[in-house]
């Protein structure tokens, strides 16, 4: 896993290396501040970190402690649902990587011996239904899908009912790639949540927001809006391998105080890895100070 993580952080590490080509045992506060800002850690958070670094020369251990503190709410686990099936509602704007992430999650559950059914709740775009159906065929798992323009709440209801009837453990429901400032689509999302609960008490058990890692800290406002709408339970950050903004993870975790469940560092199913804050911080520190012996 750590190997995949280092590969996913490669562009961020390269950007840090351009600032600090010569690795040193200690850095000045100015060097630390510049590296954090260049990695897309939000300025307000950098100020907080710098205030708590008292020495003029900063060691790896000192910086590790402060970076881990920003991730104190980012534990990657959610409570187990004792009343199967577990229903996950996948939320996020267009282009964030929702459909690919759904396929990766499904693969993860299958590898754990659980049976999975998909719900094509993004009925706004015909292409979204077709894309998710292709993934279901590839993974050889069932999918409940309807025509474009059909009520997504009905798709969610039918998917959960099918899972209950067939004894499936996991339900993953897609939603339209809505813009967070569109009130009508926000109301539609709230309706889906209500209907899920009618189909299976307590559902959706996991409202998971997919954030595009290439957007960096600008994804925070988007996440806050969705959280206010329906109450997000956890986050998956995608496309970290395609950006030098890996430091934005600290800003996202600190601002939202929500679990980061997985990070995406590539296109293959194994490239969706459970977020480990210790491994993540060590990867960043390796870019700053060089690999620890």
Name which of 63, 56, 53, 61 is nearest 16 in CA terms: 63
Could you give the CA distance from residue 42 to residue 162 in angstroms, rounded to a whole number? 44
> CA triplet 203, 207, 211: central angle to 5 degrees?
165
Structure tokens at 185: 């689509």
pTM (predicted TM-score): 0.93
Cα(144)–Cα(157) distance, rounded to whole angstroms?
Answer: 10
Q: How far apart are alpha carbons 59 and 107 in whole angstroms?
A: 41
What is each CA distance from 281 to 32, 143, 154, in whole angstroms? 14, 38, 43
| Residue 187: Cβ-neighbour burial (10 angstroms; 0-12, 13-18, 19+) | exposed
Please report, in tens digits, the pLDDT of each residue of the chain (293 residues total): 557 777 788 899 888 988 888 888 999 999 999 999 999 999 999 999 999 998 889 999 999 999 999 998 887 788 889 899 999 999 998 889 999 999 999 999 999 999 999 999 999 888 999 999 999 999 999 999 998 889 999 999 999 999 999 999 999 999 998 655 577 778 899 999 999 999 999 999 999 999 999 888 888 988 988 898 899 999 999 999 888 889 999 999 999 999 999 999 888 777 899 999 999 999 999 999 988 75
Alpha-carbon Rg for the chain in angstroms: 20
Torsion sign across C-alpha atoms 278, 235, 197, 145: negative
E-assigned strands of the chain? Answer: 26-28, 57-59, 86-91, 116-119, 143-144, 170-173, 206-212, 234-238, 260-264, 272-274
Which pLDDT does position 77 carry in this prediction? 80
d(CA 219, CA 196): 27
Domains of the chain, earliest start first? 2-73+283-289 (1.20.120.140), 86-274 (3.40.50.300)
Residue 68: CB partners within 8 Å, gap ≥ 6? 277, 278, 281
Backbone phi and psi for residue 87, each to the nearest 5 degrees, phi listed first: -105, 120
CB 285 within 8 A of CB 68: no
Surface-to-core class of residue 111, CB atoms within 10 Å of its CB (0-12 exposed, 13-18 middle, 19+ buried): exposed
DSSP conformation class of 90: E
- Residue 250 contacts residue 45 (beta carbons within 8 Å): yes
What pLDDT does 9 receive? 86
Residues in the chain: 293
Can you tell me which residue has the tokens 């990867």?
A: 283
């Amino acid at each position: 896993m750590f190997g995949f993580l280092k590969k996913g952080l490669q562009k961020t590490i390269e950007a840090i290396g351009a600032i600090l080509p010569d690795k040193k045992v200690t850095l000045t506060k100015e060097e630390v501040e510049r590296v954090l800002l260049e990695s897309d850690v939000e300025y307000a958070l950098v100020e907080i970190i710098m205030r708590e670094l008292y020495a003029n020369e900063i060691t790896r251990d000192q910086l590790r402690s402060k970076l881990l503190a920003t991730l104190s709410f980012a534990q990657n686990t959610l409570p187990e649902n004792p009343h199967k099936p577990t229903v996950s509602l996948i939320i996020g704007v267009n282009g964030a990587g929702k459909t690919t992430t759904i396929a990766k999650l499904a693969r993860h559950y299958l590898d754990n011996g659980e049976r999975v059914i998909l719900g094509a709740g993004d009925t706004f775009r015909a292409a979204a239904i077709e894309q998710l159906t292709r993934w279901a065929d590839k993974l050889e798992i069932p999918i409940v899908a309807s025509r474009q323009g059909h009520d997504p709440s009905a798709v969610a209801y039918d998917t959960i009912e099918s899972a209950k009837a067939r004894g499936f453990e996991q339900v993953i429901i897609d939603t339209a790639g809505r813009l967070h400032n569109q009130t009508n689509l926000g109301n539609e999302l709230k309706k889906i949540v209500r209907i899920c609960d009618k189909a299976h008490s307590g559902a959706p058990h996991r409202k998971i927001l997919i954030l595009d890692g290439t957007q960096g800290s600008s994804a925070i406002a988007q996440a806050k809006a969705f959280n206010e709408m329906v109450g997000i339970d956890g986050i998956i950050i995608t496309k970290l391998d395609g950006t030098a903004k890996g430091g934005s993870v600290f800003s996202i975790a600190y601002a939202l105080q929500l679990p980061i469940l997985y990070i995406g560092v590539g296109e293959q199913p194994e490239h969706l890895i459970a977020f480990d804050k210790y491994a993540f911080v060590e990867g960043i520190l390796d870019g700053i100070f060089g690999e620890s012996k």
